[in-house]
Amino acid sequence: DGRVLRDHNFRLVHFPKPTWCNVCQYFIWGVLGKQGYECSECLIPCHTYCVEKVTKACAVGAESRQAARATSIDAAIRHESRVLVLAHHYLPDLPSTIGRCSGLQKLDASHNALHSLPDTIGSLVG
Protein backbone atom coordinates (compact mmCIF):
# COMPACT_ATOMS: atom_id res chain seq x y z
CA ASP A 1 0.00 0.00 0.00
CA GLY A 2 2.96 2.38 0.38
CA ARG A 3 5.47 3.81 -2.05
CA VAL A 4 8.48 6.03 -1.52
CA LEU A 5 9.28 8.17 -4.55
CA ARG A 6 11.36 11.36 -4.69
CA ASP A 7 11.29 11.63 -0.88
CA HIS A 8 7.47 11.37 -0.86
CA ASN A 9 6.01 8.73 1.43
CA PHE A 10 2.90 7.79 -0.55
CA ARG A 11 0.09 5.78 1.05
CA LEU A 12 -3.09 4.48 -0.56
CA VAL A 13 -5.96 6.43 0.97
CA HIS A 14 -9.67 7.14 0.73
CA PHE A 15 -10.37 10.82 0.09
CA PRO A 16 -13.47 11.81 2.11
CA LYS A 17 -14.05 15.00 0.12
CA PRO A 18 -13.59 16.02 -3.55
CA THR A 19 -9.89 15.87 -4.39
CA TRP A 20 -7.89 16.65 -7.53
CA CYS A 21 -4.70 14.92 -8.62
CA ASN A 22 -1.56 16.99 -8.13
CA VAL A 23 0.01 15.45 -11.25
CA CYS A 24 -2.67 15.52 -13.97
CA GLN A 25 -5.04 18.01 -12.29
CA TYR A 26 -8.07 15.73 -12.90
CA PHE A 27 -10.63 14.77 -10.27
CA ILE A 28 -9.85 11.61 -8.28
CA TRP A 29 -13.03 9.53 -8.66
CA GLY A 30 -14.37 6.91 -6.31
CA VAL A 31 -16.83 6.54 -3.47
CA LEU A 32 -15.71 3.42 -1.65
CA GLY A 33 -12.27 2.07 -0.94
CA LYS A 34 -8.92 3.71 -1.47
CA GLN A 35 -9.01 6.00 -4.49
CA GLY A 36 -5.43 7.19 -4.79
CA TYR A 37 -2.12 8.01 -3.15
CA GLU A 38 -1.35 10.80 -0.70
CA CYS A 39 2.08 11.73 0.65
CA SER A 40 2.02 11.37 4.43
CA GLU A 41 4.55 14.22 4.70
CA CYS A 42 3.36 17.00 2.36
CA LEU A 43 -0.17 15.62 1.71
CA ILE A 44 -0.12 15.92 -2.10
CA PRO A 45 -2.80 13.67 -3.63
CA CYS A 46 -2.53 11.75 -6.90
CA HIS A 47 -4.16 8.96 -8.86
CA THR A 48 -2.73 5.47 -8.48
CA TYR A 49 -1.70 5.65 -12.15
CA CYS A 50 -0.09 9.10 -11.73
CA VAL A 51 2.13 8.31 -8.74
CA GLU A 52 5.05 7.27 -11.00
CA LYS A 53 4.78 10.61 -12.83
CA VAL A 54 5.39 12.80 -9.75
CA THR A 55 8.32 15.07 -10.65
CA LYS A 56 8.75 17.34 -7.63
CA ALA A 57 10.59 16.02 -4.60
CA CYS A 58 8.90 16.18 -1.22
CA ALA A 59 10.56 19.03 0.67
CA VAL A 60 8.97 17.99 3.96
CA GLY A 61 10.11 14.37 3.63
CA ALA A 62 13.67 15.33 2.68
CA GLU A 63 13.94 17.84 5.52
CA SER A 64 12.61 15.44 8.14
CA ARG A 65 14.98 12.64 7.04
CA GLN A 66 17.91 15.06 6.97
CA ALA A 67 17.04 16.33 10.46
CA ALA A 68 16.74 12.75 11.76
CA ARG A 69 20.11 11.84 10.21
CA ALA A 70 21.79 14.92 11.75
CA THR A 71 20.30 14.07 15.14
CA SER A 72 21.62 10.51 14.85
CA ILE A 73 25.12 11.74 13.97
CA ASP A 74 25.11 14.21 16.87
CA ALA A 75 24.00 11.45 19.23
CA ALA A 76 26.75 9.13 17.96
CA ILE A 77 29.39 11.80 18.46
CA ARG A 78 28.11 12.57 21.97
CA HIS A 79 28.07 8.86 22.82
CA GLU A 80 31.59 8.31 21.48
CA SER A 81 32.84 11.45 23.28
CA ARG A 82 31.82 10.03 26.65
CA VAL A 83 33.91 6.90 26.26
CA LEU A 84 37.06 8.41 24.76
CA VAL A 85 40.16 9.24 26.74
CA LEU A 86 43.55 10.49 25.72
CA ALA A 87 45.70 7.40 25.95
CA HIS A 88 49.21 8.18 24.86
CA HIS A 89 51.09 5.27 23.40
CA TYR A 90 54.46 6.43 22.21
CA LEU A 91 55.87 4.78 19.14
CA PRO A 92 59.02 2.89 20.13
CA ASP A 93 61.05 3.67 17.01
CA LEU A 94 61.14 7.42 17.74
CA PRO A 95 63.43 9.09 20.27
CA SER A 96 61.54 9.87 23.50
CA THR A 97 62.02 13.62 22.97
CA ILE A 98 60.11 13.40 19.67
CA GLY A 99 57.59 10.74 20.74
CA ARG A 100 54.25 10.81 18.99
CA CYS A 101 50.87 9.86 20.34
CA SER A 102 49.36 6.92 18.46
CA GLY A 103 45.80 8.25 18.83
CA LEU A 104 42.73 8.22 20.98
CA GLN A 105 41.71 4.94 22.53
CA LYS A 106 38.42 3.70 23.95
CA LEU A 107 38.38 3.15 27.69
CA ASP A 108 38.23 -0.60 27.18
CA ALA A 109 41.07 -0.28 24.62
CA SER A 110 39.24 -2.72 22.34
CA HIS A 111 39.77 -0.64 19.22
CA ASN A 112 41.02 2.70 18.07
CA ALA A 113 38.31 5.36 18.28
CA LEU A 114 39.78 7.25 15.36
CA HIS A 115 38.68 4.32 13.22
CA SER A 116 35.39 3.53 14.97
CA LEU A 117 33.86 7.02 15.01
CA PRO A 118 34.09 7.60 11.23
CA ASP A 119 32.60 4.11 10.69
CA THR A 120 29.72 4.96 13.03
CA ILE A 121 29.07 8.28 11.30
CA GLY A 122 29.43 6.71 7.85
CA SER A 123 26.78 4.10 8.63
CA LEU A 124 24.37 6.82 9.73
CA VAL A 125 24.98 9.11 6.76
CA GLY A 126 25.37 6.56 4.00
Tens of pLDDT along the chain (126 residues) come to 677 878 889 999 999 999 999 999 999 987 788 999 999 989 999 999 999 999 988 888 666 666 655 555 555 555 554 444 444 555 555 555 554 454 444 444 444 444 444 555 455 555
Q: How many Cβ atoms are within 10 Å of 52's Cβ, its own excluded?
A: 10
Q: Are 35 and 21 within 8 A, CB to CB?
A: no
| Same domain assignment for residues 84 and 44 | no
Q: Are 49 and 23 within 8 A, CB to CB?
A: no
Nearest residue to 38 (alpha-carbon basis) of 20, 25, 55: 20
Q: What is the pLDDT of residue 114?
A: 45
Q: Give the total number of structural domains in the chain.
A: 2
| Same domain assignment for residues 9 and 36 | yes
Q: What is the pLDDT of residue 91?
A: 54
| Same domain assignment for residues 32 and 65 | no
| Same domain assignment for residues 66 and 46 | no
Domain extent at residue 29: 2-53
| Same domain assignment for residues 45 and 7 | yes
